[in-house]
Amino acid sequence: MVLNGREIVRLREARGLSQADLARLVGMPTNTLCQYERGQRGNRHSKRWPDGRLHPSVGVRIAKALGVELDTICKPKPADEASEATAA
């Protein structure tokens, strides 16, 4: 599971929330949320399960703050990362 930054931005803006508003609701620094939205965080920088999948706690908090299901803001893990996780 990888967070879909574009979908987070779309939903945040549709709800009239700024990055600072959503970050406050989720309980993270604004610059961290910005990194999730740009796809610079949420893969290698986030807590992971032993099998390499992204720990859902951050995604769950963002989804809850946006009023959507977790699947709404996630996308499949890229193939190159999936192969790295299984090779390790």
Bigger pLDDT: 86 vs 35: 35
Treating both helix axes as pointing N-terminal to C-terminal, what angle do 30-38 and 19-26 enclose, rounded to 10 degrees?
110
Could you tell me the maximum CA-CA distance found in the chain, to the nearest angstrom? 42
Q: What is the Cα–Cα distance from 54 to 76, expressed in whole angstroms? A: 11
Domains and CATH numbers, the chain: 2-75 (1.10.260.40)
Question: Which of these, 26, 83, 88, lies nearest to 58 by C-alpha position?
Answer: 26
Report residue 80's pLDDT band, with 50, 70 and 90 as the boundaries. very low
Predicted TM-score (pTM) of this structure: 0.73
The pLDDT assigned to 55 comes to: 61
Interval 25-73: pLDDT, tens: 998 899 989 988 998 876 544 555 565 555 668 888 999 999 999 889 8
